[in-house]
Amino acid sequence: MSDEKKIRVLIAKVGCDIHERGALTLLTTLRDEGMEVIYTGRYQTPKGVANAAVSEDVDVLALSDHTGSLPIIAEAVLGELKKLGITDMKVIAGGLLAPDDIKSLEKMGVTGNYGPGTPLDEIVYHIQSVAK
């Protein structure tokens, strides 16, 4: 048994997006890679996601959305984290992303920003990199 601390990831879905396939696939993949993964389920609020990320003491917060609203969601979640005094949370995003969305997210400090069809090993590697 390794003494190495497992990477903790919170996968979150904010708002009315009903599409869970990507989030659930990522959850399974990350667990298979030895990470601890918490999934908020659908219909969460930005405040609820921020509180969960802090209370679960995660290394990475992964936002998932397939409504085309990731910049709005990320801005709201980052705002709630800031209210809690958290300004260094590692946040990644995935889902339906237009090129302008990716630019907006990167300006906010959100990394990864993966669209449908991204190889899972690429996402795993990115999470391992930002969690260090």
pTM comes to 0.94
Contacts of 58 (CB under 8 A, 6+ apart): 8, 9, 10, 38, 89
Distances (CA, A) of 105 to 20, 45, 120: 21, 19, 20
* Domain covering 8-131 in this structure, CATH number: 3.40.50.280
- CA–CA–CA angle 124, 127, 128 (5° rounding): 85
DSSP 42: S
DSSP 59: S
According to the model, what pLDDT value does residue 1 have?
Answer: 47
Q: Tens of pLDDT along the chain (132 residues)?
A: 456 789 999 999 998 888 899 899 999 999 999 999 999 999 999 999 999 999 999 999 999 999 999 999 999 999 999 999 999 999 999 999 999 999 999 999 999 999 999 999 999 999 999 998
According to the model, what pLDDT value does residue 17 have?
Answer: 85
